[in-house]
């Protein structure tokens, strides 16, 4: 039996009298690769922020047994700032040094190792103002990895990244998961990719409509979460297909 | 030329003005990139107007202006920090509080009997009234600003680039924001005699705006701002001496001239 690494019990969250999450219960086990899907405004990011500890005024209980590496949505970043790639990544090591302290040579080596791991070592002295969406996504991943996490939470990592970039990014996640024995929680709109990669899938729209291994999730489940007339694009291994609700 | 320089440096007040101008150029060039990158361009103006309220109180009660100006500037900085974390952006917070402090200052001024010429000199600044004590204060503030930049460089960068997630990585964002706003408040107080309440914003906005266009690194932004500020200050003071112009506004016009040049260079 694998160890429980995240437990979410009876979580409810409202903001300005609007109910955002209702009665959320689930468990994630060590080494799981979990995908969370749901339409816009379903509360996916809110749920991530609750697990991460960014939102605290929810009711219910959340237990996390491990360190989280958080890759938030790209739109949180001010891409106008002339901060170098390696400087940005160093944020992941901040906890180790803290206020008024300088990073050591070893710290910078570790930062470079992580930039190498995510494949952007060549960009280490480039300002983030000159990065593409895919490169910035990798940089945020490197920053999260430098935090030395047990759990990786990725919030819509495909946003603003081209198709090739997406595919390579997911491959990278796979590799890291195996190498570092990470538990991964992936929030995404990319239903096809989630079905292809994740072992367990949660469908969220204010409340959890289904959570099961991917084999047991049906099109009906998805249509319950998304609206009824939703056309689902499913990306197969080598092709796209479209399934209509007739 | 040499005769002119000798003549210039034979006046104590001119030497004081010159040193004060240079020190202000250094400290504002550290804050200017932060102010511009964080899109809080009006913070300088806001703080300066808050200082006006402090000056009014000091004149009414016949107290030394500096401690009270510092106090009001810090209160203003803390209020902005508080509001901008909860309610709105820094600019909105400044927009709300600037007129309030200014109005308060005006009400206080109305209680002062008789003519209040000194208040006017603080509104527009008069670099030629700089005392040795002012120079020491500027030296202290400039040193603090430089130390902040050296020891909090990475925190400032995190604060600018990704404030939200920085909190997650245990970066003390509230501390950084408050420290920077207080540092900025102290700098503005030090600038009031030189540029006046109304002009201080130019030192904080124009250099950062120009340097942002050309800099690849944050440090370059500070360096370019420094060059812009020092050039404008030196030329400004010399011009104002030669042509009998008010120094503060002359420096501001020169800063704007630099901005115009960089703008023209880009569109041509």
Q: Does residue A239 have a pLDDT over 90?
A: no
Which residues lie closer than 8 Å to B125 by C-beta, 6 or more apart? B191, B192, B193, B194, B195, B196, B197, B199, B200, B248
Tell me, what's the pLDDT at A79?
Answer: 93
Is A35 in a helix, a strand, or coil?
strand
Burial of A222 (0-12, 13-18, 19+ CB in 10 A): buried
Q: What is the tens place of the pLDDT at every residue in A193-211?
A: 888 888 888 988 888 887 8
pLDDT confidence of residue A88: 97
Residues of chain A in contact with residue B216, where contact means CB-CB under 8 angstroms, are 82, 127
What is the reported pLDDT for A193? 80
Digit-coded pLDDT (tens) for A155-168: 998 887 887 788 88
Please state the φ and ψ torsions of residue B89, each to the nearest 5 degrees.
-70, 165
Partners of residue B210 in chain A, C-beta under 8 Å = none
Kindly give the parts of chain B with pLDDT less than 50: none
Task: Find the range with the poorest average confidence among A175-189, A216-230, B159-173.
Answer: A216-230
The pLDDT, as a whole number, for residue B116 is 66
With bands split at pLDDT 50, 70 and 90, how would you rate the model's confidence at A241? very low
If residue B183 lies in a helix (H) or strand (E), which one and from where to where? helix B173-214
Residue A124 scores a pLDDT above 80: yes
CB-based contact, A147 to chain B, within 8 Å: yes
At residue A39, does pLDDT exceed 50? yes
Output the pLDDT for position A217: 74
Q: Please answer whether residues A48 and A155 qualify as being in contact, where contact means their C-beta atoms are separated by less than 8 angstroms.
A: yes
Query: Is A232's Cβ below 8 Å from some Cβ in B?
Result: no
Q: Specify the pLDDT at position B121.
A: 72
How far, in Å, CA of A238 to CA of B147, rounded? Answer: 57
Q: Is B99 helix (H, G, I), strand (E, B) or coil?
A: helix
Give the pLDDT score at A236.
Answer: 46
Burial of B220 (0-12, 13-18, 19+ CB in 10 A): middle
Q: What is the pLDDT of residue B115?
A: 64
A107 touches chain B (CB under 8 A): no
Per-residue pLDDT band for A235 (boundaries 50, 70, 90) equals very low
Which among B162, B171, B218 has CB closest to A77?
A: B162
Phi-psi bin for B52: left (phi > 0), alpha (psi -120 to 50), beta? alpha
Which residues of B fall below an 8 Å CB-CB distance to A?
37, 151-152, 154-155, 157-158, 160-162, 164-172, 175, 212, 215-218, 220-221
A77 touches B: beta carbon within 8 Å: yes
Average pLDDT over residues A31-40: 89
A90 contact residues in B (CB cutoff 8 A) = 154
Domain positions in chain B: 2-259
For A73, the closest chain B residue by CA position comes to B165
* Yes or no, beta carbons of B160 and A81 under 8 Å apart: yes
pLDDT value at residue B256: 94
Q: Which of A48, A112, A114 is nearest to B164 (CA)?
A: A48
What length does chain A have?
246
Mean pLDDT of the region A108-125? 95
Residue B17, both tokens? 């003005």
* Residue in B closest to A126 by C-alpha: B216
Please identify, in words, the CATH class of the domain defined by B2-259: mainly alpha
DSSP-derived letter for residue A90 is G
* Phi, psi (degrees; rounded to nearest 5) at B88: -150, -175
pLDDT range class, residue A244, cuts 50, 70, 90: very low
In contact, A76 and B162? CB cutoff 8 Å: yes
- Give A20's pLDDT tier (boundaries 50, 70, 90): very high
The mean per-residue pLDDT over the stretch A119-129 comes to 95
**What confidence score (pLDDT) does residue A81 get?**
94
Take residue A75 and report the two structure tokens written for it.
């739109």
Mean of all residue pLDDT scores within chain A: 86
């Amino acid at each position: 039996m694998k160890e429980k690494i995240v437990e979410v019990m009876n979580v409810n969250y409202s903001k300005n009298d609007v109910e955002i999450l209702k009665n959320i219960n689930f468990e994630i086990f060590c080494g799981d690769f979990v995908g969370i899907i749901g339409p816009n405004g379903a509360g996916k990011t809110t749920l991530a922020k609750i697990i991460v500890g960014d939102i605290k005024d929810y009711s219910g209980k959340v237990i996390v047994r491990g360190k989280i590496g958080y890759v938030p949505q790209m739109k949180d970043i001010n891409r106008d700032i002339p901060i170098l790639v390696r400087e940005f990544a160093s944020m992941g090591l901040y906890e180790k040094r803290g206020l008024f302290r300088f990073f050591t040579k070893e710290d910078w080596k570790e930062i470079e190792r992580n930039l190498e791991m995510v494949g952007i070592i060549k960009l280490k002295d480039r300002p983030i103002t000159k990065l593409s969406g895919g490169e910035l996504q990798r940089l945020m991943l490197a920053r999260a990895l430098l935090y030395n996490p047990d759990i990786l939470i990725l919030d819509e990592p495909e946003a603003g990244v081209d198709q090739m970039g997406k595919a390579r990014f997911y491959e990278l996640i796979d590799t890291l998961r195996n190498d570092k024995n990470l538990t991964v929680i992936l929030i995404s709109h990319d239903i096809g990719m989630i079905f292809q990669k994740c072992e367990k899938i949660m469908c969220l729209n204010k409340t959890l409509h289904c959570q099961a291994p991917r084999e047991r999730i049906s099109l009906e489940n998805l249509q319950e979460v998304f609206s009824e007339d939703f056309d689902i694009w499913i990306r197969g291994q080598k092709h796209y297909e479209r399934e209509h609700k007739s | 030329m040499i005769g002119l320089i000798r003549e210039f440096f034979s006046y104590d007040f001119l030497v004081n003005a010159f040193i004060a101008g240079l020190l202000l150029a250094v400290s504002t060039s550290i804050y200017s990139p932060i102010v511009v990158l964080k899109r809080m361009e009006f913070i300088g103006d806001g703080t300066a107007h808050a200082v006006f309220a402090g000056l009014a109180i000091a004149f009414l009660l016949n107290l030394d202006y500096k401690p009270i100006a510092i106090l009001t500037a810090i209160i203003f900085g803390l209020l902005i920090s508080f509001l901008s974390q909860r309610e709105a952006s820094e600019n909105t917070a400044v927009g709300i509080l600037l007129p309030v402090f200014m109005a308060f200052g005006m009400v206080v001024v109305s209680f002062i009997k008789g003519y209040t010429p000194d208040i006017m000199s603080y509104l527009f600044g008069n670099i030629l009234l700089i005392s040795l004590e002012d120079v020491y204060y500027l030296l202290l503030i400039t040193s603090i600003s430089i130390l902040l930049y050296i020891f909090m460089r990475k925190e400032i960068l995190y604060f600018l680039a990704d404030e939200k997630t920085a909190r997650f990585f245990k970066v003390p964002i509230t501390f950084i924001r408050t420290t920077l706003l207080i540092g900025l408040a102290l700098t503005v107080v030090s600038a009031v005699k030189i540029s006046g309440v109304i002009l201080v914003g130019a030192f904080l906005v124009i250099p950062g705006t120009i340097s942002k266009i050309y800099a690849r690194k944050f440090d370059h932004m500070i360096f370019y701002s420094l060059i812009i500020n020092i050039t404008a200050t030196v030329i400004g003071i010399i011009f104002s001496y030669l042509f009998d112009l008010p120094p503060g506004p002359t420096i501001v016009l020169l800063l704007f001239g630099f901005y115009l040049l960089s703008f023209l260079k880009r569109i041509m």
